[in-house]
Amino acid sequence: MNRGNSANSRRQESLTFVVKSLSLKYDVVMQRIKLFLFRYPLVALVAIVAIIGIVLEVTGNNEAASWVVSGVAAFIAVLQFKGMVDTLREGSFGIDILAVTAIGSTIAVGEYWAALVVCLMLTGGEALEDYAENRAGAELTSLLEGAPTVAYRQTDSGVEDIDIDAVAVGDQLVVRPHETIPVDARLVSRTALVDESQLTGESMPVHHDEGDLLMSGSMNGTVTIEIVAEKTAANSQYQRIVSLVNEARESKAPFVRLADRVAVPFTLLAFLIAGTAWALSGDPMRFAQVLVVATPCPLIIAAPVAFMAGMSRAARSGLIVKNAGTIEQISKVRSVAFDKTGTLTRGEPEIHVVDSEWPDADILRLAASAEMYSSHPLGEAIVAAAGRNIPQPEHSEDIPAQGVSARVEGRRVMVGKYGFVTGTDKPAPHVLEAGRSSIYVSVDGELAGRFEMSDPIRPETPASLDAVHSIGITNTVILTGDAEETAQRVASELGIDTVHAGLLPEDKVSAITDVKPGPVMMVGDGVNDAPVLAASDVGVAMGARGSAAAVESADVVIMLDDLTRIPRLLLVGKRTMRIAWQAIAIGVAFSVVLMLIGATGVMPAFVGAWMQELVDLACILWALLAARPSKAEKELSARFAQPQGREPTVSV
């Protein structure tokens, strides 16, 4: 008996669970329907009028149905006409003239249901575009949705929940398993396993040791860790990325200009076919039957969807394209220019020789004090080599592409190129080993010594440049402030075509404008690269953790400090443009075929209007292919996954 009661109880619980689940799903569906109708009221109007018209016809009130449906269709045509006029005033050709004419002609010949289908296509086009773009931009959306909002601060009384904006530099924070790291922070725990895939595109978790910097937005592993905030939320890695993604999502590609160029002959052809069919047959119905399949939605929707899909595809590879129009420029790039230090090289120089009559510790201490506030990798290497107890400079001035001048302990200390520290035009007297460069130091106007330094080439650089050339880039360039000899040595090793060395930031801007053939992509990472990144056709900042100025100036930000992302970016740009043009071509081709069929009179206007809806759907589905990797990109990924056969032998 007890077993029977127990079984009945379980069945009752199961039934209750099913009822609650269905009720919840119903509420969700109804909420989505309400939201849809609120955002797209004209779609709701068309749907309601369609229901009213069907009811009237079923009850035998055909004339009333005709007046109701035709009246609403005419109202929507007027709204569309007003939008067309506004577009013309802005200097763009209004391709929706076909839709307005199609509605008017179908109403005139009594095909009011066909007119309503065209209205549905026009009013529903915005909803369809939003849906397609949201699906295409899934990677960009996931980056925004993953933004951390809460942090857990360690206090004397325990752990407290705080808003992420309340985190201050130096706060001790706790990150629980599978939670997002809220701000850029230093690891206090001995080790941590962190998933950085959402930031960098790297699928494998990254192992970190105590003292390592952790990026906000990355996901903690299975063990609770302690961290110390290095930056506030507003200045952290993830917030910078969120800002870039918002900018990317809100941008619109200038591809509409290309669509306009297609739209003008397409519109003329549609009117020519429609007019000819009417003239030859003497039946105005033919005019309407042609125009209902000549609506311009493939031209309006397909390209934006392809661009959003391409930007989403780039984000999946750790590439944030800040503006949709940049995709078009990337697809046309013929030359790629690189900064040397920190881009082609690791940007982590090492001191190999200290050549001075002064004690090594003293010359290093003075030079490190002068370089204390320098952001140049060579200066940072000198500071790192000097260790602790570096005196505070009384005054420090950074001279771009030359060095620094400072006052340290009452002495004037200059660190940089030979001519800069000695005040002469003479070349440096020292002969260096391959791959090394000298940084000179003067104290109170007297040459005090030099450091021989090297900055190894990134291990992925040779393969990345080979891939760039194989994609079809005809000219690769080095733009650097370093010495000519060092730059030529790197170019020779890596197979780079052109070298411009010894450049100041303004010289780089002049040099980039002279690079041919164009358009030109510039890749850099430092503060001194910001002007040339802004001046180039496509500016790419290496690593979102790099210079804030470079990130702000660039059109594309590589979230992972990895040069192999450059050929991936080029392939994404080319594929996106190819898919966009193919989607437009599919729409135009199908529309022309349907127009010719409509001209024969064998396809009723109502059927033709629905056929055009299928054409729109086909164009959108094709445009979404831009979100998938191309065959060339898959081959490139497999190539980079294999051990590279050619290792760099030069360090600079």
- Would you please indicate which residues are annotated as catalytic (active-site) residues? 339
Q: Which two three-digit tokens encode residue 452? A: 């021989």
Instruction: Please choose, from the candidates 519, 482, 121, the residue with its C-alpha nearest in 3D space to the C-alpha of residue 336.
Output: 519
Strands 446-454 and 319-321 turn out to be unpaired
Kindly list the distances between the CA atom of residue 387 and the CA atoms of 211, 404, 482, in Å, as whole numbers in the listed order: 17, 19, 26
Percentage helix, strand, coil, to 5, in the chain?
A: 55, 15, 30
Q: Where would I find the H helices in 40-160?
A: 41-58, 62-89, 97-108, 112-136, 138-145
Strand, helix or coil for residue 333: coil
- CB-based contacts of 82, cutoff 8 Å, min separation 6: none
- The CA distance from 491 to 405, in Å, is 30
Contacts 24+ apart (CB under 8 A), 592-596: 592/269, 594/293, 594/294, 595/269, 595/270, 595/273, 595/274, 595/290, 595/293, 595/294, 596/273
Q: Residues 645, 647, 648, CA angle at the centre, nearest 5°?
A: 150
Q: Residue 161 burial (CB < 10 Å; 0-12/13-18/19+)?
A: exposed
* Residue owning tokens 């080979």: 466
Q: Are 566 and 539 in contact (CB under 8 A)?
A: no
Q: Are 303 and 623 in contact (CB under 8 A)?
A: yes
- The CA distance from 58 to 44, in Å, is 21
Strand, helix or coil for residue 56: helix
Instruction: Please choose, from the candidates 507, 529, 511, the residue with its C-alpha nearest in 3D space to the C-alpha of residue 520.
Output: 511
Strands 335-338 and 475-479 turn out to be parallel
Buried b (16+ CB within 10 A) or exposed e, 15-29: eeeeeeeeeeeeeee
State residue 187 phi and psi, 5-degree precision.
-75, 125
Kindly list the distances between the CA atom of residue 203 and the CA atoms of 19, 542, 632, in Å, as whole numbers in the listed order: 40, 20, 20
* Residue owning tokens 């000179």: 440
- The CA distance from 43 to 125, in Å, is 9
**Is residue 110 within a helix (H) or strand (E), and if so which, with residue range?**
none
Kindly list the distances between the CA atom of residue 22 and the CA atoms of 8, 13, 19, 27, 33, in Å, as whole numbers in the listed order: 21, 14, 5, 9, 16
Q: Are 478 and 491 in contact (CB under 8 A)?
A: yes
Kindly list the distances between the CA atom of residue 496 and the CA atoms of 291, 463, 490, 510, 652, in Å, as whole numbers in the listed order: 55, 12, 8, 20, 15
